[in-house]
Copies of this chain bind each other. A is one copy, B any other.
Amino acid sequence: MKLATFKNGTRDGQLLVVARDLSVAADASIIAPNLRCAIENWTDAEPPLQELYRALNAGAVAGAFPLEVSRLHAPLPRTWQWLDASAFHSHGDLLEKVFGSTPPPQKRTVPLVYQGAGDDFLGPVDDQPLPSEADGMDFEAEVAIIVDRVPMGTRATQASSHIKLVMILNDTSLRVRAMHELRTGFGFGQCKPATSFGPVAVTVDELGPGGWRDGRVQLPIHVHWNGREFGHPHCGAMGFSFEQLIEHNATTRNLSAGTVIGSGTISNENFREVGSACIAERRGIELLDHGAPRTEFMKFGDTVRIEIFDSAGRTIFGAIDQRYVRASAA
């Protein structure tokens, strides 16, 4: 099943069911007004949403309409917790080497996760407004899950039933600000502006045969910067599964229904062959190879495109395709 959120003027938007090939959509607000309500009442909402999805794919929904991605919010325009991991070891290992920094304690056994702002997500083709190029603007291509309510103390072995939907996202990062914030120990604030999500959230079966295994998306993510391929690292290389990330995050707290948990920048050990999903990683490689980074961070007007295809080459989530622009004054 694929779900999207139409910009109807409300903060939570209007729930749509979207056909598998993303050609058409149907209003689902009679089932749940928005995805936040649907995920908070998933047991009741899922069966009729699935039924509508089957009918839509069969061309049997009166009032189905062509999907216009520009009119979509993030699938969840806002949510209660946004927890983003850094679960790809090749990414962390590289950056430690580059910066000569101390490896985080227990880095192979305890996930790194920061708590982000979940209140103001951007749609798949919304502009990304930012105050200054001097902040070191970067993209980060990631995958994420949406969970229903996870009680405190839930273990990884109990966690997979809480994974309801999967998304792709662009976790925009301001690298100059990140360097400062990393040193404070207090986590990421100013360096993490609004996060953008792909057009649709999908149930794991939509990833196709073998597309979801071991609590991981088992497909490459394709990243283009200003129209040129930047990388296509494989999402299956996650050092921790999403079930492990759920256990980690629910150790001392409940996770409300609608909590979004991200993978961190997709990264592979063979980054020289497959490329990267963020500029910081490419700059790290250049620093190792040439003694200095050669690739600059983003400029206003730059675009990034992020997409995942199934084994038959069909887009699963549609594309994130964003332009970075200068924010207007408050």
Which of A106, A154, A181 has the largest count of B CB atoms less than 10 A from its CB? Answer: A181
- Which of A19-27, A244-252, A308-316 sits within the interface? A244-252
Taking the nearest CB of chain B, how far is it from the CB of A238, in angstroms? 17
Interface string of A173-191 (1 = CB under 8 A from B): 0100100111111111111
Considering the chains assembled together, what is the distance between the CA atoms of A262 and B40 in angstroms? 28
User: In the assembly, how many copies of this chain are there?
Assistant: 2
Within 8 A of B (CB), among A221-267: 248-256, 259
Q: Does A203 contact B (CB under 8 A)?
A: no
A90 near B: Cβ within 8 Å? no
Interchain Cβ contacts under 8 Å between A and B, 25 examples: A11-B40, A80-B80, A80-B117, A80-B118, A81-B118, A83-B189, A105-B184, A106-B180, A112-B184, A113-B186, A114-B115, A115-B115, A115-B187, A115-B189, A129-B152, A135-B252, A155-B330, A158-B330, A181-B185, A185-B187, A187-B187, A187-B188, A190-B251, A190-B253, A192-B252
Contact between B186 and A112, CB atoms less than 8 A apart: yes
User: Do most interface residues of chain A lie in helix, strand or loop, or is the interface mixed?
Assistant: loop
Q: Are A253 and B120 neighbours in the complex by a CB distance under 8 Å?
A: yes
Nearest residue (CB) in B for A251 is B190
Q: Is A193 an interface residue (CB 8 A)?
A: yes
Least distance between A102 CB and chain B CB atoms (Å): 8
Q: Does B116 contact A115, Cβ atoms closer than 8 Å?
A: yes
Using Cβ atoms and an 8 Å threshold, which residues of chain B touch A255?
119
Interchain CA distance A177-B153 in the complex, whole Å: 15
- Whether the pair B259, A119 counts as a contact (CB closer than 8 A) is yes
Most buried by B among A119, A248, A259: A119
Are A254 and B194 in contact, with the CB atoms below 8 A? yes
Complexed CA–CA distance, A120 and B80 (Å): 9
Q: Check if A189 sits within 8 Å of B113, measured CB to CB.
A: yes
Could you say which of B11, B81, B129 contacts A119, with CB atoms under 8 Å apart? Answer: B81
Given the known interface contacts A152-B330, A158-B330, A330-B158, the answer about A256 and B186 at a Cβ–Cβ threshold of 8 Å is: no
* A55: Cβ under 8 A from any B Cβ: no
Return A253 CB to nearest CB of chain B, in Å.
5
In Å, the complex CA distance between A284 and B116 comes to 30
Shortest CB-to-CB span from A115 to chain B, Å, is 4
Q: Nearest chain-B residue to A104 (Cβ)? A: B184
